[in-house]
Structure 1
Amino acid sequence: MTFWGVRGGIPAPGGATKQFGGNSPCVEVNCGDRIVVFDAGTGLRVLGQSLMARSPVKGDLLFSHTNFNRICGLPFFAAAFHPKNNFAFWCGHRPEEGNIQAVLTTLMTDPVFPVPIDIFNAQLSFHDFPAGTGFALDSGIEVASIAVSCGLPGTSYKVHCTGGTIGYACALTPPDDLTKLVDFVTGCDILILSFVGHDPDRLDAIAAEVAERAGIGQLIVTDHAPEATDDDLLAREEGLMNRFSASRLAREGDCMQIGEPHH
């Protein structure tokens, strides 16, 4: 598993964010002969460069939300220009507002972007499903989902592949009752989690409670605020680890095996 983007809201490049990274959300899970990608922020551009050396590639992109910061990397996804690559796009929270193909087509339409989505040469498919349902991908990959909200609808995921289970629950409004979320992520070897709010200490306390109650193997908190510097995040990470020892803040470029302890 590799983190290609860990910044929430908007990309935040610069010297003050060099250690944790400035690209917006994108996480790759390597499931043998297929990859699963969570979100398509600007980190997707860097992932695309990596995939060009691995073609042909088959992959599934799962969108937690369709806010701009989680789709804006798509036009710069080099791997989508390779005719031997195959990518499926999945979205669980837009059954009435317009499907995922319409969202991504609009993103790559003048005047927002100068070239249309059909410039891509890879084989692309688009899939909408009702959040709360599960489905199977190729290579024995199983996906479960729940509907979430941060003011706008979204989807959280649990992906099981060879080696273990990864949960991805991001940009959540902290619920008054954590039971539904805890029940959903129970059994995850790794949980990638973020809550929306202006008090990181409070949000990390909630994240640690979720991880503790769900018996999570490794908690990784992501979607760092654009204004948060490396020094800010190092201090925050120390506080998080004091609450739940098997935890960390996500760093761009981090690679880890499912079930691998963090040192």
Structure 2
Amino acid sequence: MINSSEFVIQFWGVRGSIPAPGGETVRYGGNTSCLEMRVGGKRLIFDGGTGLRVLGKQLLKQTPVEAHMFFSHSHWDHIQGFPFFVPAFVPGNCFHIYGGVAPNGATMKQRLSDQMHHPNFPVPMQVMKSDMKFHDLMPGDVIQLDDITIETGPLNHPNSALGYRVTWQGRTAVYATDTEHYPDHIDENLVYLSRDADVLVYDACYTDEEYHDPQASKIGWGHSTWQEALKVAQVAGVKKAVMFHHDPNHDDDFLDQVESEVQTVFPNSLMAREGMILPV
């Protein structure tokens, strides 16, 4: 059962691009993007990277399950856990699934189904026997789940992505991955989405040095840096900033160093860690 008086975030996958298992990533985790918000008695799941499989194993102990699943976009590191999300195969469970419509018109239902078509996967999505209800979103749409308000906003990412702002009883958490900052101005859409938030979970895949590396520039790849994350947090009046979507090449020691630098600039900030539970 979910505590009807709590608002907490639990991180099930904090890595970007591709899973990065191994001895050098055990402290921060190697699973790709997935986090859960337990808000006012409801379960909200954001993105379905490989961390979703781990969350699914926990949910099997709590059936029947009802959850609202929000996808930022459908690049593989955000959907590759969905075919392995065992609760979706269990009759009696119910999942409300939300996502944007791709520039080519493909809905989230189509894209989740496509990755499970032969020869990519042995079983189609139709084998999932839970009750799945799909909802198409456009940037700016607002979803109301009883007294929980979920706002959406556009992110700067190839093929588009959505950011989400969750507000309940005066407390707000923002999930904004994957997005790239602009070279000459701050993203006003992102600032508005993050305004006065208690927690901002932000795509801090790179350092500024990596992003601008003349030999291996990351400009145009659709991701941001921790330095830009803190600019958004400061301008938007965010109380706590969480660096998310860690590059698969960044090991635990590297992320320790980044966290030290991040906290020097913005003391109320931290690196996302797999398994971490953060009250809002």
TM bracket (short chain)? over 0.9
**Selected match of 1:152 from 159, 162, 171:** 159
Partner secondary structure for residue 64 of structure 1: coil
Q: Which amino acid aligns with 1:165?
A: T
Is 2:88 the partner of 1:66?
no
Shift of 1:196: 5.5
Shift of 1:140: 2.2
Is 2:95 the partner of 1:87?
yes
Name 1:188's counterpart in structure 2: 197
Q: Partners of 1:86 and 1:227 in 2: how far apart?
A: 36
TM-score, normalised via structure 2 length = 0.87
Is 2:123 the partner of 1:115?
yes
Name 1:172's counterpart in structure 2: 179
Partner secondary structure for residue 102 of structure 1: helix
Q: Partners of 2:177 and 2:262 in 1: how far apart?
A: 17
Shift of 1:235: 0.2
Q: Partners of 1:93 and 1:246 in 2: how far apart?
A: 35
Name 2:242's counterpart in structure 1: 220
Q: Partners of 2:208 and 2:39 in 1: how far apart?
A: 35
TM-score, normalised via structure 1 length = 0.92
Is 2:165 the partner of 1:143?
no
**Selected match of 1:208 from 221, 230, 249:** 230
Is 2:46 the partner of 1:51?
no
Judge which range, 9-18 or 194-203, deviates more: 194-203
**Selected match of 1:3 from 3, 11, 36:** 11
| 1:159-210 residue CA offsets vs partner (Å, 9 max, x unmatched) | 1134721101112111232233212211211110015656368721111111
Shift of 1:41: 0.0
Unmatched segments (≥5 aa) in structure 2: 1-8, 212-224
Q: Which amino acid aligns with 2:157?
A: C
Partner secondary structure for residue 17 of structure 1: coil
Partner secondary structure for residue 248 of structure 2: coil
Partner secondary structure for residue 62 of structure 2: coil
Q: Partners of 1:226 and 1:199 in 2: how far apart?
A: 17
Determine what percentage of the aligned residue pairs are the same residue: 35
| 1:94-119 residue CA offsets vs partner (Å, 9 max, x unmatched) | 26421111101111111010001111
Aligned-residue RMSD, C-alpha = 1.7
Q: Partners of 2:101 and 2:109 in 1: how far apart?
A: 13
Name 2:279's counterpart in structure 1: 257
Partner secondary structure for residue 112 of structure 2: helix
Shift of 1:48: 0.3
**Selected match of 1:245 from 238, 263, 267:** 267
Count residues with an aligned counterpart.
257
Contact 2:200–2:241 (8 Å) recurs in 1: yes
Unmatched segments (≥5 aa) in structure 1: 259-263
Partner secondary structure for residue 136 of structure 1: strand
Name 2:220's counterpart in structure 1: none
Misfit runs of 4+, over 6 Å: none
Q: Which amino acid aligns with 1:183?
A: Y
Partner secondary structure for residue 279 of structure 2: coil
Partner secondary structure for residue 245 of structure 1: coil
Q: Partners of 1:167 and 1:223 in 2: how far apart?
A: 14
Shift of 1:123: 0.7
Is 2:17 the partner of 1:24?
no
Contact 1:95–1:128 (8 Å) recurs in 2: no
Name 1:12's counterpart in structure 2: 20
| 1:3-33 residue CA offsets vs partner (Å, 9 max, x unmatched) | 0000000000000000000000000001243
Q: Which amino acid aligns with 1:13?
A: P
Q: Which amino acid aligns with 2:197?
A: C
Q: Partners of 1:74 and 1:39 in 2: how far apart?
A: 9
Contact 1:174–1:196 (8 Å) recurs in 2: no
Q: Partners of 2:180 and 2:207 in 1: how far apart?
A: 11
Is 2:140 the partner of 1:132?
yes
